[in-house]
Amino acid sequence: MLRDITPVTVVVGGFFGDEGKGKIVGYLGLKDRPSAAVRTGSINAGHTVSFDGRVWKLRVVPSAFLCSACRLYVPAGALISIPVFLNEVLETGCSGRIFLDYNAGIITEEHVARERSDELMKQIGSTKQGVGAANSDRIMRRLKLAKDYEELRSYLRDVALEVNEFVDKGEHVLIEGTQGFYLSLYFGTYPYVTSRDTSASGVLSEVGVGPKKVDEVLVVFKSYVTRVGEGPLPNELSPEDVERFGFVERASVTGRVRRAAPFNLELARKSVVINSATQVALTKVDVLFKNIQHVKEWGKLPYNVRKWIEDVENVLKVPITLIGTGEDVMAVIDRREEVLGSLKR
- Beta-strand ranges (E) seen in the chain are 8-13, 36-39, 47-51, 54-58, 71-74, 79-80, 98-101, 105-106, 156-157, 173-180, 216-222, 224-227, 259-262, 279-283, 320-324, 332-334
Q: At what angle do helices 303-316 and 265-274 cross, to 10 degrees?
A: 50
Contacts for 286 with CB less than 8 Å, ≥ 6 apart: 292, 293, 294, 295, 324, 325, 326, 331
Q: What are the mean pLDDT values of the chain's consecutive 10-residue runs (345 residues total)?
A: 66 97 98 97 93 96 97 98 97 97 97 81 70 94 98 98 96 97 97 96 97 96 94 96 92 80 98 98 97 96 98 98 98 94 57
**pLDDT on residue 98:** 98
Architecture of the domain defined by 8-98+157-344: 3-Layer(aba) Sandwich (3.40)
| Separation between Cα atoms, residue 198 and residue 67, nearest integer Å | 25
**pLDDT on residue 126:** 64
Q: Return the closest-CA partner of residue 45 out of 31, 61, 25, 67.
A: 61
CB burial class (10 A; 0-12, 13-18, 19+) of residue 144?
middle
**pLDDT on residue 5:** 45
Could you give the residue numbers annotated as active site? 18, 47
**pLDDT on residue 250:** 82
**pLDDT on residue 128:** 78
